[in-house]
């Protein structure tokens, strides 16, 4: 379900997508179909996965032609089987065919992200680790990518550069160290944004712990270092593992006791789920 506060952003993103695809008009549909022609279509999934983006598809058809009837048959976040019908759509045939590709693009991309996220979440089941996304999203589509992660059972890291402080290696190098970087942030952080610091060694971890930051990221560290970091931290501050994490090793990472695991692949490398729209005749 799209949050009320996100509705305007969704409407604007769909408008951009439709302008990009339809432009001044769908010449093929307009020239092959009569203006009065009616049709019914069904959205069919051709591989198992987790569905996301149906609410966005509904907005696509609403903008194309308000006479289109959209009937979802499953809810976003639902696990589906190959061959399952996700939704039916009916109305002017030109409108259905004009909105088809944009609706499918949203559903396929978002469902692919939700499906991959669910696989990671299942891989760490039985631990306390929470799977997080990153900012490695499609430009202009971050809202949709991050919504898909949540529908897959994961959680969102910061949305952008403005809602959380994340002091990374380049900030540390340019500031002359972790301590001066944190001190400069605190001097200007009037909004009280949470502060996270990226570390790569146990010495850096101890320095960050002494500063009382809100979260510490263990970047590209091996499993033994993660385990020692968890022991040293003793629950004082949440720890986040990041870098080089795959489906093959995520369970081992979670077993070290870290609180969060952030994975860029959720949004930058998820394969699209195979979904089609077929006109019923």
> Known catalytic residue: 168?
yes
Ranges of H-type helices in the chain: 7-22, 27-32, 54-64, 93-123, 142-151, 169-175, 178-188, 202-210, 223-233, 250-255, 265-268
Cβ partners under 8 Å of residue 28, min gap 6? 97
Catalytic residue among 6, 21, 207, 219: 219
**Would residue 135 show up in a list of annotated catalytic residues for this protein?**
no
Query: Which of 42, 62, 79, 136 is the catalytic position?
Result: 136
Structure tokens at 50: 């987790």
- 145, 198, 240, 259: the active-site residue: 198
In the residue annotation, 219 being an active-site residue is answered as yes
Is 46 part of the annotated catalytic residue set?
no
Contact yes or no for 169/221 (Cβ under 8 A): no
Catalytic residue among 16, 19, 125, 168: 168
- Per-residue burial over 67-90, b = 16 or more CB atoms within 10 Å of its CB, e = otherwise: ebebebebebbbebeeebebbbbb
Q: How many CB atoms lie within 10 A of CB 6?
A: 15
Residues known to be catalytic: 101, 136, 168, 198, 219
């Amino acid at each position: 379900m799209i949050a009320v506060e996100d509705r305007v952003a969704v409407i604007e993103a769909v408008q951009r997508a439709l302008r990009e695809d339809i432009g001044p008009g769908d010449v093929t549909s307009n020239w092959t179909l009569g203006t009065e022609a009616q049709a019914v279509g069904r959205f069919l999934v051709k591989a198992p996965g987790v569905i996301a983006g149906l609410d966005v598809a509904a907005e696509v058809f609403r903008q194309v032609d308000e006479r289109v009837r959209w009937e979802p048959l499953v809810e976003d976040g639902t696990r589906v089987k190959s061959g399952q019908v996700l939704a039916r759509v009916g109305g002017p045939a030109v409108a259905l065919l004009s909105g088809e590709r944009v609706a499918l693009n949203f559903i396929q991309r978002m469902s692919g992200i939700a499906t991959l996220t669910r696989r990671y979440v299942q891989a760490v089941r039985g631990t306390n680790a929470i799977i997080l996304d990153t900012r490695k999203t499609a430009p202009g589509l971050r809202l949709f990518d991050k919504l898909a992660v949540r529908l897959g059972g994961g959680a969102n890291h910061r949305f952008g550069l403005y809602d959380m402080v994340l002091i990374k290696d380049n900030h540390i190098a340019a500031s002359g160290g972790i301590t001066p970087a944190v001190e400069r942030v605190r001097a200007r952080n009037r909004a009280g944004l949470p502060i996270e610091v990226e570390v790569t060694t146990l010495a850096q971890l101890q320095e960050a712990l002494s500063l009382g930051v809100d979260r510490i990221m263990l970047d590209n560290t091996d499993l033994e270092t993660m385990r020692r970091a968890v022991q040293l931290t003793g629950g004082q501050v949440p720890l986040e593992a990041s870098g080089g994490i795959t489906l093959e090793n995520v369970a081992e990472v979670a077993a070290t006791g870290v609180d969060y695991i952030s994975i860029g692949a959720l949004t930058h490398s998820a394969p699209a789920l195979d979904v089609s729209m077929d006109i019923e005749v």
